[in-house]
Structure formats: C-alpha cells, structure tokens
Structure 1
Amino acid sequence: MKTQAAELKDTDFVFFKVKNLWTYFISESLAFKSICAYLFIEYARPQEIFPIIDILPWAQVFLGLSFLGLFADKKARMKFSGMHFLLLLFTLVIHLSIAGAYEPKWGMEYYVIFIQWVIIFFLIASIITTKERFYIFFLVFFVCSLKIAFGTARNFAFRGFGFTSWGLKGPSGYFENSGELAVLMLILFPISYYFYRSYKKDVRVWEKYILIAAVICPILTILGSSSRGAQIALVAQLLVMFWRQVFKPKVFVSIAVLAWLGWQVLPAEQKLRFTEIGEDKSSIQRTLYWENGWEMMKDHPVLGVGYFNFRPYFQDHYPEDVLYEYAQLPHNIFIQVGTDAGFLGLGTYMLIIVMALTRRLPVKLGSTREIEPYYLAAWQGLKIGVIGFVIAGQFVTIGYYPFLWISIALQTALKFAIQENLNRKA
C-alpha cells in the first residue's frame, strides 16, 4: 500500500479519483490526517448528523493531534512569509488592545475566537507543504462547503424559493446564521466556477455534474439567504470575474439571462428589502453602529476601545442609540477591527487583505504553464472569494470568522507547495 501510495502524484487524483485519493491519504502522516479531519469536523459537522459520536470536542482533539504530529512529520516545513509577518503583527496589536481595553474581561472571554486562527494558519502553512497534500486538503474544504451549499439550496427549492425573515440556516457553528452562511457561499462560488471552467471537458460525466452543482448551489443559497450584503457581493464578484468579456455579445446576453433568472427566483419580500435599505429598523441601527463606531475609533485611535469591547463601550456611552434590547456588534468588519484594535490594528488587517488580493504564485519566467489547472483555479477562486468577503463584510460582523483566515492559510500553503515543487525540479 505504501509503495503504491508513494508512486501516486497529484495528477493521479484529477478530478475526484476516490481510490487514488484515499490510498494516498491513508499513507500520510498523523499531522496531515489530523488537520484534514479538523477541517472536515469544522465544516461538515458530522457530529450533528450522528449525535452518537458527539462525545468529544473533536475539532480541538484533531488540532492537538496535528500539532503533536507536526514534530514527527518529515514533510512539514516551518517557513516564513510576508503573510506570517502581518498575522503576527496583527496578533501583537490584538494582545496590546486587550491589555488596555475598556473592559479587559470581555477581551479575555473571547480571546480564543481570534487566537485559534493564528494557530490554525501556522499549522496549515507548516503541514500542507506538497502539491499532493494541498490537493487533498483543498478538496476536503471544497467538498464540505459543497455539502452545505447543496443542503441549503435544496431547502430553498423545497420551500418554493419563498422568503423567510431568517433566510436559510446552515449547520451549527460559524455558518448557522444566514448572513455568515451566504459569505461561505461567496467563497465557494468562484472556486467552483474556475474548477468547472478548467475541467468541464476533461472529467467524467458524474464529476462534471458535481462541478455544475457546485456553481449553481452557492448562488441559490445566496439568493435564499435574505442577506442583501451577500447578494450585492455576488454581483460584484461576477463583475470582477467577467469584466473583460462583459461587452462581448454572447457573454452579455448570458449575463443578462442569468440576472433575469436570478431576479425571478429572488422572493418578492427580498426585492422589497432592497427598496427599503436605510429605512428599516435594522438598517438604522446598523448606521448608528457605524457612525458611533467611527467616533470611537477617533477617540481611541491607536489601540481602539479593546478587543471585543464594542458592545460594552457602546452600551455605556451611546445608550440612546441602542434601538434593541442591548447593543450588538457593529455589523462591519472594518468598524469591528478599528474599534477593537484602533487604526494600528485596522491598518494591519487591511494590509492582510491587500496581500491576499495581490500576492502571486511562484512561477518560472512569469509563466503559469507549469502549474496545473487545479491550483490556478484554487488560487483565482480564493482571491475572488476574499473580494466577496470584504464586500459582504460591510454588513455583517465576521472579522474573526474563518473566511479570511482559512483563505490566507490556503493561499500560503499553495504558494509554499508550488515553490517546493519548483525547487525539486531545479
């Protein structure tokens, strides 16, 4: 088995050759298996489907195993990149903001929500060091996200594409609320599209159907999510993806037809919500959060009011602007980070986003011909996904959700894996 696995390369996996994928996976190290298992547990949530196995905190268990296995993993590499530097700088600022927070106990209570992503970033970047490992790890991410997309799109279809105030509900955890679920779909959609474009002529029929479903289901989930921000972000993604072709007659007509179909599927109540932007109670409260959040940033420009201190500070200083029972989070990633960590933290956070959008894969002589379509599609899709995250993040509080942190970890791992492959060929 090991001999057979050692002979397998990433090209033997395309696109979803289960036997080869499994043969290679079971021959791999404890660290690699554990980090894949962590991702599967976090995204697929099998413990909800089969409650009988919900006897341990599996995500933490597999993270611990991946950390312990890291030291015995011969393929693991502790490399450093610009993204590592920015993430460590941001981590330092967050710690300083907790130390000088308005109410430090709030920062300590929610500390793990941020620091876990730093740990996970370093584990992924250190363990996913080869193209074969990246192929499998990214496929786990893709399949788990597709599982969520398929289930929620099916629910939207079964209710007759009708409107509900809560939108669609994902699995418990980071994607349970409709807004956060829609952001995951914004990450999945461009990846799925670029996979389909790259492999539509080269895969088996059933694999092609999976890729088609992976393109359609995220769109349906976004339409059914009742999230105006995510729907606006989807339009922006489409414009970025097709801006060069949009004025070609065939492409223009295709986009027009898709837009018309999307508008027809969009529930009437959701269409009405677009006409009421800025006038309904939730929009007014969100605007008050933004306006007062900006004042909080100006009053505490260096380190903000403290990590996760927006709620207590807002409740105490702007009680007249709390339209609901109590103050909530600011519903904007930049206001969230700016009030948590000041302009110093916000500047670092924005540099992380800029690097995620501008970094390039290592290639010889500027040519990408030696890089297989799988990795180019993943790279392009992740970048467009970050754009969707940023735009949707203007309306939801997701600064410390997995979307950005997993994306930059996947980018960094892919960059290291491609560089490692080039070094072996040199």
Structure 2
Amino acid sequence: MPITALGFLAVFSIGCLVALKRPYVGLLLYFFVYYMHPPGKYWGSFLPEMRWTLIVALITLISTFIHEKNLKAWLKPKETKWLLALFSYICLQMTWVNYPSLHQEYLVLLFKLVILYFIIVTLVNTEKRLIGVIVANAIGAAYIGLEAIQTHQSGRFEAAGLPGIKDGNLLAIHLIPIILMTSVLILTNIKRRYLVFFPLALVANLFFMTGSRGGLVGLVIAGLFFIWYSPKEKKTQVFKWAGIAALLGSMLLGPLIAERMNKVINAQENEEVDKSAYTRIVVIEAQWEMFKDNPVLGFGHRGTLIQSPYYVAEEYMTETAIGGRRASHNITMSFLVDHGLVGSFFFLFLVVGAVYKVKIVNAVFEKNPRVALVLLSCSSGLLGVMVSSQFSNSKVLEISIWMIALIAAISLIMKKDEKHNLLDKDE
C-alpha cells in the first residue's frame, strides 16, 4: 500500500477519535479529507470504498451536539433563513418535477450542505478558529497545486480529483476564495504570517494551470471589489500588495490563458468564434426560452440537460448514454430553469445578503481588524465565485456554502465581541 494511503488512514482514524471530543478538529479533518479525497487519487484504489467526507461530517455533527452549548446561534444570521427557505422550496419541488430522481440528487446534496453550514457557523466561533479554517483550506489547495506540478505535463490541468470538481473551470472557481482568504492573512499581524507565501504560491500557480478564462475574470473582479471596500487604514498596504499580485500574476499567466483569451478578443464578425465560448451563448439563449415556458416553479434539478433536445440545435449537443444533451454553463440560468423565479429569488437573496455584509467592514475594522479583513475576503471571494459561475455552472460546488457559512459565522463573532466590549465598559 502506498505511503500516502497509509498516512491518510492514520490521520483519518486519529482525527475521527479526537473529533469525538473536539468537534472543531472534526471540521478541520473534513477539509483534510475533502482535499485528499481518496476516490479521486490513484492511491485511493488501495483503500476501501467509503463515504469519507460523510463519515467525518456525521462524527463532527454528533460531537457538536454533545459538546457545543450554543446550538441555536446558527439560526440568528439572515443567511440561515434564506438557506432554509431555499431548501424548503427544493423539497416542495419534489411534488411536481417530471424527473424526481434527478431532483432528489440536488435535494440530498443541499441537505448535506445545510448540515455543513450548521457545523461551520456553530464551530467557527472565535477569531483563532476562523484563521484555522483559512489555513486548513490553503494547505489543502496547496497540496493539489503541488500534485499538479509533479504529475501534469501540458495543457489545462483538470484532474484535481475533488468532490464535484470535474474540470479546470470549476477548480478555478473553487480557488478564488481560497486565494483571497489566504492573501488577507498577509495584511494582518498574526505571527509567522509570511509563511503563507508558500501555500499561496502553489495555489496561485494551480489557478493559472487551469487555464480558465471565466475564473480569471472572477478573480480580477473579486480583487477590485476587495480593493474598493478595503478599510481606509489599509488602502495603501492593499494597493501595494495588489500591485505585487498583479505583477506576479502576469508572470504566471503563461501562454495557455493568453491564447484562450485571444480567441475571444480577436474574433472578427465574419470569422469563427471559439466554439467553447460561443456554445455557452447558444445554451443561454435556449435556457431563456426554457425559463419562459415555466417561469415560476421551474423544471427541477438538471432541467437544462433534460429539456435541451427541444431547445438546442443538434450541432451544439454532446453525446451521452441517453442521446444528445447539453448541460448548463451558467449558474443564474440554471436556477431560473431548474427552480424558477421562486427558487432563484431565495438563492439571490442568500448570495446578495452575504456579499452585502461587506458594508460593515469599515465600521468594525477598528474594533477587530483581522476579522473585518477576513469578512472582506469572504465577501469578495463569494462575489468572484458568482461572477465566474456565469461562465461555468458551480451549482453543486461546496465552496459557495463554505463562504456564506463563514460570513454568517463572522457576523456572530462580531456580535459576541461587541457584547463583550459593552460589558467591559459597564464594569
């Protein structure tokens, strides 16, 4: 058995035992298992087939109920209410969708994500734990980056082997918040913060290895959003590091993304446009017609895939076991087709409400600068995910729920700190 497989088993086994008494360790173990993900690695074939992340999540959930006192705190943030409203509607849809088996897949996934949301909001209740989650994700993504350097030869890197991440575009979307959250640690005064450069370099290099044009657009917009809302006290430092990041990013850009961007930028009206980009436009136009045929309630999960033979020309179809089909490449249109105006309304307010929390960054920066900067990075990262998701459908990725959960957790941390400050003044 490979050493990596043995090491994974050792960490998994010991981590599960420790998590029974310390649920926060279980959360960190969840991220470890997510990035290692045996089914997606060559050494995973030496291990038994198990739902590794599910096992960790269940152990952590049980431990959380046993050891955590304030189990109702997660209900306070507005994000929780919108997420539960969305989940309730997805459950209700099961009563009328034409393909309940496909819809059930998303229902089960969303239920798991609601549980994960509860665990994150409940356990990430201090600044130290918040930074621990960021570091865990930075190291996990850096591991994938190191693996990519060692195994990948040429072209786009798309074999990350992570849950739900099947191509380079989705991997790039996942990495956007990781890059921003890791970068923000450099702006803080935590000890040994410059060690962050090592995993950050690997993650940034991995991002550019994906060759994702949509990912690059999302990262740039997220970065500009971060700069715009950065606290006045940090503006100069943020501009300095942004300039350095832009310079290093241009060095990492390489010919892969540049060539793919030029296919779109230099395309003339009478010339053939890059088919990958043009097909997305064709599918979006078809999805708009699908939406108009069922605007309120939606067709259910994977609605675009099921309805595509009736709306998309055969030349743009992809051959599958059940014939020509075309999946969605746009998260906004996916929600409109799958869940109609009702489901899209809940999702929109869930995301916008979380991103809008950025408005309080300047107000709380003086009281808790590190947490305020992390909030800014999470909001910027979530925005970057949504922007990139207009080019590749990230509906089933976990990263958006991670960010929303961290934003909700940060709001609770800030309220707790504010309460303590008031008590200190009274004394």
- 1:267 Cα deviation after fit: 5.7
Say if 1:310 and 1:340, in contact at 8 Å, map to a contact too: yes
Which residue does 1:404 correspond to in 2? 400
Say if 2:19 and 2:26, in contact at 8 Å, map to a contact too: no
2:368 and 2:239 mapped to 1: Cα distance? 31
1:227 and 1:318 mapped to 2: Cα distance? 25
Moved more, 285-294 or 322-331: 322-331
Corresponding position: 1:179 with 2:176: no
Counterpart AA for 2:291: M
190 and 135 in structure 1: CA distance in 2 versus 1, 3 angstrom threshold: closer
Corresponding position: 1:38 with 2:30: yes
1:389-426 CA distances to partner (integer Å, 9 max, x unpaired)?
Answer: 01110111112211211111111122223323443452
2:167 and 2:392 mapped to 1: Cα distance? 11
Moved more, 353-362 or 300-309: 353-362
236 and 262 in structure 1: CA distance in 2 versus 1, 3 angstrom threshold: farther
276 and 217 in structure 1: CA distance in 2 versus 1, 3 angstrom threshold: farther
Which residue does 1:9 correspond to in 2? none
345 and 110 in structure 1: CA distance in 2 versus 1, 3 angstrom threshold: closer
2:341 and 2:288 mapped to 1: Cα distance? 11
213 and 57 in structure 1: CA distance in 2 versus 1, 3 angstrom threshold: same
1:380 and 1:44 mapped to 2: Cα distance? 28
Unaligned segments of structure 2, at least 5 residues: 1-13
Say if 2:126 and 2:413, in contact at 8 Å, map to a contact too: yes
- 1:285 Cα deviation after fit: 2.4
Which residue does 2:366 correspond to in 1? 369
Say if 2:90 and 2:107, in contact at 8 Å, map to a contact too: no
Matched residue SS, 1:298: helix
1:140-166 CA distances to partner (integer Å, 9 max, x unpaired)?
Answer: 2332223223433x359x74xx5x1x4
Say if 2:329 and 2:393, in contact at 8 Å, map to a contact too: yes
Give the count of matched residue pairs: 389
Corresponding position: 1:291 with 2:285: yes
Counterpart AA for 1:230: G
Corresponding position: 1:58 with 2:56: no
TM-score of the superposed pair, with normalisation by structure 2: 0.79
Say if 1:189 and 1:214, in contact at 8 Å, map to a contact too: no
- 1:362 Cα deviation after fit: 7.8
91 and 251 in structure 1: CA distance in 2 versus 1, 3 angstrom threshold: closer
Corresponding position: 1:347 with 2:345: yes
Correspondent of 2:301 among 293, 303, 307: 307
Say if 1:77 and 1:129, in contact at 8 Å, map to a contact too: no
Matched residue SS, 2:72: coil
- 1:88 Cα deviation after fit: 1.0
Corresponding position: 1:126 with 2:122: yes
Which residue does 1:384 correspond to in 2? 380
340 and 254 in structure 1: CA distance in 2 versus 1, 3 angstrom threshold: same
Counterpart AA for 2:103: G
Alignment RMSD (CA, Å)? 3.4
Counterpart AA for 2:295: P
Which residue does 1:231 correspond to in 2? 216
Counterpart AA for 2:278: I
Matched residue SS, 2:350: helix
2:111 and 2:326 mapped to 1: Cα distance? 22
Say if 1:75 and 1:129, in contact at 8 Å, map to a contact too: no
The structure whose residues are more often helix, as a share, is: 2
- 1:356 Cα deviation after fit: 1.4
Moved more, 409-418 or 392-401: 409-418
230 and 267 in structure 1: CA distance in 2 versus 1, 3 angstrom threshold: closer
- 1:296 Cα deviation after fit: 1.2
Which residue does 1:327 correspond to in 2? 325
Which residue does 2:9 correspond to in 1? none
Matched residue SS, 1:396: coil
Identity within the alignment, %: 19
1:233 and 1:331 mapped to 2: Cα distance? 15
259 and 61 in structure 1: CA distance in 2 versus 1, 3 angstrom threshold: closer
